[in-house]
Chains A and B, each alone.
Chain A
């Protein structure tokens, strides 16, 4: 058991090494990709700034708090992109019949598919979110103790697992409907933007939905409340501690869904 794991890990690192080198081949495209992502997020942040210019605050969150909230979700999304972003493209493999090759190799198909790409473009997300978090930390005069740093770290890990889980769940849809990439861009991408603003602006039913069904609340809102000393009418303040736990459970459920789909998979054509 241990040996299979070690062998698996070795193979994983070997394969992502190959993936990184491929992406580095086109140096100009590589740099542009990173800058592009960083600028996309900076653009959203600028829109927030413009929005709050006339209004001052939204539900008691001023610009820097809002920026922190947004950057926290982008940070974990960055980690998620590194490992799982290419899961959205599973439909192409199924439609073209190239998914079969993941089934005939002596490595777990999920692991194999995951190791296909190590998306270095995510450094754009890191670039933006780390700068933004640092700026907000400074502007808001925050001084976290060790426990708050743990909450922060927990939010990043939990957020990665929650968003990664969702990508895997969308990818699993391809086993049934042979569609995943489009679903990601037209549904998950807009749905993810729910998180950019404090969840208290939404109707109560939606707040419940993004807490218990699609646990976006644990990605940034609940931990950010704890880290910025905010209170909410609905959520107890200590819920922000549970990001990792929720992340692990949600990821496990999504992984099971993916495996269920995999068992149902039938190759396309001859």
Chain B
């Protein structure tokens, strides 16, 4: 057990070192993140101009929502991108991974952890701490709220990871995933509440979103962070996240098992 953990830990350490070696890439990425933050901040500011609160949400809450959402999106984005997984399947490199004595989905997770740590420590954490201090929007008031946010955000990360990797593995059957991929990305970005919280959705769409796994990625942690979700509703949401994580994980394991059986390598 300890030995296994140490082996996976080596992947985390190596990828941390690699991220440190390619610092430039991490910092250009934060520039893109800040531009998107600026765009969405401006949009919400303009939407709220002359309005006190909409659907019981004030601008201060919304600003906090956008900030924490962009910070989380930055963290999610620091892992291995989907296209890289697909490329590995297409070129057949994934066969090499299967020969080695580790579990590929787990290995990927630990590798991502390293680059995420680096990105979080050198870019996301200092930048967003500063932004929260300057803009001073609503923040968690109690320690419990903060801890619940971290728990929920972590669950959200695992949900996104399982879904994305499962989707990446579909390349085993489809080879070209073009159009499907775009629907997938769109669903994640809209239904996860990454830029527009589910409160502002039309009722029917909000209902639809509540029955999808994506809301657990950003919407639930963000809502906890800004204090829109508390008491019993919060526990229900956390439970829903755990439920979806279990489903997505089972799906990932199932697809991975099937994919390992069906390896097609392009070319000779």
Contact = CB atoms under 8 A, between A and B. Distances in A.
Interface of A: 26, 28-29, 31-33, 35-37, 39-40, 43, 46-47, 50-51, 53-55, 58-59, 182-183, 185-187, 189-191, 193-194, 196-197, 200-203, 206
A32 B176 contact: yes
Contacts of B180: 32
B46 A58 contact: yes
A23 B46 CA distance: 43
B47 A36 contact: no
Interface string B24-40: 01001101110110110
30 contacts: A31-B179, A33-B178, A36-B179, A36-B182, A39-B186, A43-B182, A43-B185, A46-B186, A47-B190, A47-B196, A50-B190, A50-B196, A50-B202, A54-B200, A55-B47, A55-B200, A58-B47, A59-B49, A182-B28, A183-B28, A186-B32, A189-B32, A190-B32, A190-B33, A193-B39, A196-B39, A197-B42, A201-B43, A202-B42, A203-B42
B202 A39 contact: no
Given A43-B186, A51-B200, A187 B39 contact: no
Interface of B: 25, 28-29, 31-33, 35-36, 38-39, 42-43, 45-47, 49, 51, 54-55, 176-183, 185-186, 189-190, 195-196, 199-202, 205
A32 B174 CA distance: 12
Tell me whether chain B's interface is mostly helix, strand or loop, or mixed.
helix
A47 B179 contact: no
A83 B239 CA distance: 51
B36 A201 contact: no
A124 to B, nearest CB: 9
Contacts of A206: 38
A33 B215 CA distance: 28
Contacts of A182: 25, 28
A232 to B, nearest CB: 13
Contacts of A202: 42
A107 B66 CA distance: 50
A227 to B, nearest CB: 21
Contacts of B49: 59
A190 B31 CA distance: 9
A29 B176 contact: yes
A36 B179 CA distance: 4
A221 to B, nearest CB: 14
A59 B31 contact: no
Given A32-B176, A43-B186, 16 more contacts: A28-B176, A32-B179, A35-B178, A35-B179, A40-B182, A43-B185, A43-B189, A50-B205, A53-B201, A55-B54, A186-B32, A194-B35, A201-B42, A201-B45, A201-B46, A202-B42
Contact of B43 (A36, A37, A187, A197): A197
Contacts of A186: 28-29, 31-32
Contacts of B31: 186-187
B178 A36 contact: yes
Nearest to A196: B39
Given A32-B176, A50-B202, A190 B182 contact: no
Contact of B179 (A39, A51, A185): A39
A51 B32 contact: no
Most buried by A among B31, B43, B201: B43
Nearest to A60: B46
B39 A190 contact: yes
A89 B243 CA distance: 43
Contacts of A194: 35, 39
A35 B186 CA distance: 13
Nearest to B194: A47
B189 A47 contact: yes
A144 B180 CA distance: 38
A187 B46 CA distance: 23
Most buried by B among A32, A35, A59, A196: A32
